[in-house]
Amino acid sequence: MKKTISEYITNDQIQNVVIVLVLAIIGTIGYFLYSLTTNIRSIKNEMASTTVAFNNKLISLQAALATTTLTSADLAQRLVDQQNKSENLDQTLSGISNTVGTLKKLSQTDKELLQKYSKVYFLNENYIPMQLSQIDQRYLYKKDEILQFHALAMTNLTRMLAQSVSSNSTVLVVSAYRSFGTQADLKSNYLVTYGSGANKFSSDQGYSEHQLGTAVDLGTPYPDTLLMTSFESTQAFNWLNNNAYKHGFILSYPKSNSFYQYEPWHWRFVGIQLATYLHNQNKHFYDLDQREIDTYLATIFD
């Protein structure tokens, strides 16, 4: 009769086998756990090393970025500084150019044109304006006369007279340029007629603005106010008061001036800039200091 396996194996042997198997399993698990722990530790170490390397690289990049930012800011500031220098240089060159242009204008402009004559400065007998042109006869009070005015200001005079006509406030020229000799003859005739009283309304030769070629006596087509203070009550005078400065003309001898009697008919060309300044500030030419007046000489014909 055959025996089964269990009959050949004792209980102790079975226990030993079980113990061996258990130990083998435990050993395997232990080894696995050990290997796993070792791998985890290795991975952690690698991660730590990587983190340190990454942090170091990040710090390095941050430092480089900070340096680059500072460099960029420095370059930007230098660029701004250079732009400012360039602008300042442009302004300086522009200023120099303007100064040169002004000096050139001054060298080509008659310095007598803005002097305060009439008992203040004297024009000698040889003085004649550099350029004179004949005034269009349609703007003359006496159509058969030949009257002259400074050529460089003729456009201003003609435009002013033309606009007065178109505004129904017709202004006409009664007298314009007078030479030294003509003024002497005129003053002599006035002295014969009015005696010393002529000094109140007529200047001596050399002191007349008319010799400059930039002064005119103005009137209307009607003789009743001709070279009389009553001219101030005319529509033409009112128009001149409101518009003459736009063309560069000013009233030389207003009321209460210290040179001559009030002459509402006597107007002088001083340039648009100076005339506008005097009008806006309610000032008179002869009240200004000569040094202030001289600053407008370069622009008198602008």
115 and 102, same domain (yes or no): no
Rounded distance between C-alpha atoms, residue 235 and residue 275, angstroms: 21
pLDDT for 196 = 41
Q: pLDDT digit string (tens) for 228-270?
A: 999 999 999 999 999 999 999 999 999 988 777 899 999 999 9
Structural domain tally of the chain?
2
Task: Indicate whether 120 and 73 sit together in one domain.
Answer: no
In this structure, of 43-47, 183-187, 285-289, the range with the lowest mean pLDDT score is 183-187
Q: Are 96 and 119 contained in the same domain? A: no
Question: Model confidence at 62, in pLDDT bands (50, 70, 90)?
Answer: confident
pLDDT of residue 296: 96
Same domain, 17 and 132: no
Residues 2-17: tens digit of each pLDDT? 555 556 667 777 788 7
% of the chain at pLDDT higher than 90? 45
| CATH number of 198's domain | 3.30.1380.10
> Confidence band (pLDDT; 50, 70, 90) for 119?
low
> 96 with 39, same domain?
yes
The Cα 80–Cα 83 span in angstroms is: 5
Residue 179: is its pLDDT beyond 70? yes
The 10 Å CB-count burial string (b at 16+, else e) for 59-84 is: eeeeeeeeeeeeeeeeeeeeeeeeee
Residues 141 and 65 in one domain: no
- Residue 13 has a pLDDT of 76
100 and 132 both lie in a single domain: no
- One domain for residues 138 and 80: no
Q: Is the pLDDT of residue 191 over 70?
A: no
Residues 103 and 201 in one domain: no
Mean pLDDT of the 95-114 span: 69
Q: Is pLDDT of 122 > 90?
A: no
Q: Which of 91, 107, 123 is the last residue of a domain?
A: 107
Residue where a domain terminates, one of 92, 107, 122: 107
The answer to whether residues 133 and 155 touch, using CB atoms and an 8 Å cutoff, is: no
Higher pLDDT, 222 or 57: 222
Higher pLDDT, 32 or 288: 288
pTM score > 0.75 for this model? no
Kindly state whether residues 148 and 65 are assigned to the same domain. Answer: no
Q: Which residue has the higher pLDDT, 201 or 99?
A: 99
Q: Tell whether 149 and 170 lie within a shared domain.
A: yes
> Domain range spanning residue 73?
5-107
pLDDT attached to residue 54: 84
| pLDDT above 60: residue 151 | yes
- Indicate whether 93 and 193 sit together in one domain: no
135 vs 128, higher pLDDT: 135
* Chosen domain end from 107, 122, 156: 107
